[in-house]
Structure 1
Amino acid sequence: MAEAERIIGTPDIPDAEGTGGPEDEVRGETVGDTGADTDRAEAPGKGKRKIMVLFAVAVVAYLLDLSSKMIVVAKLEHQQPIEIFGEWLRFDAIRNAGAAFGIGEAFTVIFTAIAATVIVVIARLARKLYSLPWAIALGLLLGGALGNLTDRIFRSPGLFKGAVVDFIAPAHFAVFNLADSAIVCGGILIVILSFRGLDPDGTVHKD
């Protein structure tokens, strides 16, 4: 009887000790593989959501800039500046052939090419985008670049030489527009993310 009990009880010993048998190994591999497959399946979905955020931010920034410029051209251009906060902030419509804040008016075509290049680079980078903060930052850059590029393409004096409409005039500072603001905010956010070690693909690195 003792011999029979020993033979019958032997298979239960590995399970009691937690070593597991072949069935447990197969079961463990199946669970692990399922988790990995789930992560791989979810990654494209997360990437698509971040791309949607990027383009949503870009569209909002672009439409705000475009609509503000249309109002300024229709109501404020060739008129006296409007004081918002006394001498500290005014709305004063001007045409700027240079870059942001009136820099480099002799290089309008070059700045147009740079803006177009920025848009292409952002569109290519979006394919590997898995970070929400990066999606917002790139969306601001894209919307701002598109806003000023629209002016350079369609406004006078000619194709790719158009002057950008600026109207926000703080005291003792250059006149700018909402597209410039979006570009600056996006750039500042990118600098912050870079210092924190967050990459566009969502990974975090430390130098």
Structure 2
Amino acid sequence: MSLTRYRTEGVALAITILVIDQIAKFIVAGPLALKSRLQIEITSFFNLTWAENRGVSMGFLTAETDTARWLLVALTGLIATVVLLWMWKERARGDILALGMILGGALGNIIDRARLGYVVDYADLHFGAFRPFMIFNIADAAITIGVLLLLARVLIIGDKSAKSEAPTSGVQAGGISDGAPAAKTENEHV
């Protein structure tokens, strides 16, 4: 497959996550009226619970003022832009898809913060009183899964791209290479 196709898949995944996230938030805020009900028990280990997250991950960098809110929107927008640029430079399909997940989740939460002043969280996974995660949403899950996939690739698989890009033999601009660095010509600068 081509790099263009990988990038298209990454962007399509980001848009899909963004749309699903916003639809889910619309449903819990609108038809389910979760904000006024506060909690709906779905199973013995999963509830829909209304939470307004005014910060970023786990409530860090809480934005209590309007100025802080817009600074947080700008900061997270900058991070999303960096993720998009990274996605465009990336060559590995798996990494592009992981970055697409992160981008889609980031955009979903940025829209909430810009529109409402907080991020709507609602997914409450628990085992009795034990809660392995804070209340989250689809965007948060996509960001977390994308980051874990990138970490797994680095820690388990390693960085094969750096090894494969280093030429060891073959034809270079200066002629045939035996793996040693090509000799500098008098026109090349150090």
**One fold, TM greater than 0.5?**
yes
1:166 partnered with 2:121: yes
Find the partner of 2:105 among 127, 134, 144. Answer: 144
CA positional deviation for 1:174: 1.4
2:122 match: secondary structure? strand
TM-score normalised by the chain length of structure 1: 0.67
**Which residue of structure 2 aligns with residue 41 of structure 1?**
none
1:117 partnered with 2:88: no
Contact persistence 2:87–2:100 (CA under 8 A): no
Flag as ranges the 4+ runs of structure 1 deviating above 6 A.
none
**Residue type matched to 1:185 in 2?**
I
1:78 partnered with 2:33: no
1:135 partnered with 2:91: no
1:176 partnered with 2:141: no
**Which residue of structure 1 aligns with residue 179 of structure 2?**
none
**Which residue of structure 1 aligns with residue 12 of structure 2?**
56
CA distance change for structure 1 residues 184 and 82 in 2, over 3 Å: closer, same or farther?
same
Higher strand share: 2
CA distance change for structure 1 residues 94 and 138 in 2, over 3 Å: closer, same or farther?
same
Q: What whole-Å deviation, never above 9, does each CA across 1:125-164 have from its counterpart, x for those lacking one?
A: 2332321101110000000000000011111xxxxxx111
CA positional deviation for 1:96: 1.2
CA RMSD of aligned residues (A): 2.1
1:192 partnered with 2:155: no
- Structure 1, gaps ≥5 residues long: 1-44, 156-161
Matches of 2:150 and 2:72, distance apart in 1: 21
CA distance change for structure 1 residues 175 and 58 in 2, over 3 Å: closer, same or farther?
same
Matches of 1:61 and 1:94, distance apart in 2: 20
CA distance change for structure 1 residues 197 and 205 in 2, over 3 Å: closer, same or farther?
farther
Higher helix share: 1
TM-score normalised by the chain length of structure 2: 0.72
**Residue type matched to 1:79 in 2?**
R
**Residue type matched to 1:85 in 2?**
T
**Residue type matched to 2:150 in 1?**
I
Q: What whole-Å deviation, never above 9, does each CA across 1:34-82 have from its counterpart, x for those lacking one?
A: xxxxxxxxxxx71111110110110111111100000011122211411
Q: How does 1:30-45 map to 2 (within 5 A)?
A: none
Matches of 2:74 and 2:52, distance apart in 1: 19
- Structure 2, gaps ≥5 residues long: 165-190
Q: How does 1:13-28 map to 2 (within 5 A)?
A: none
1:105 match: secondary structure? coil
**Residue type matched to 1:51 in 2?**
R
Matches of 2:109 and 2:56, distance apart in 1: 9
Matches of 1:67 and 1:101, distance apart in 2: 23
**Residue type matched to 1:100 in 2?**
S
Sequence identity (%): 29
Matches of 1:80 and 1:153, distance apart in 2: 22
CA positional deviation for 1:121: 1.0
1:154 partnered with 2:112: no
In the comparison of the two structures, how many residue pairs are matched?
152
**Residue type matched to 1:101 in 2?**
M
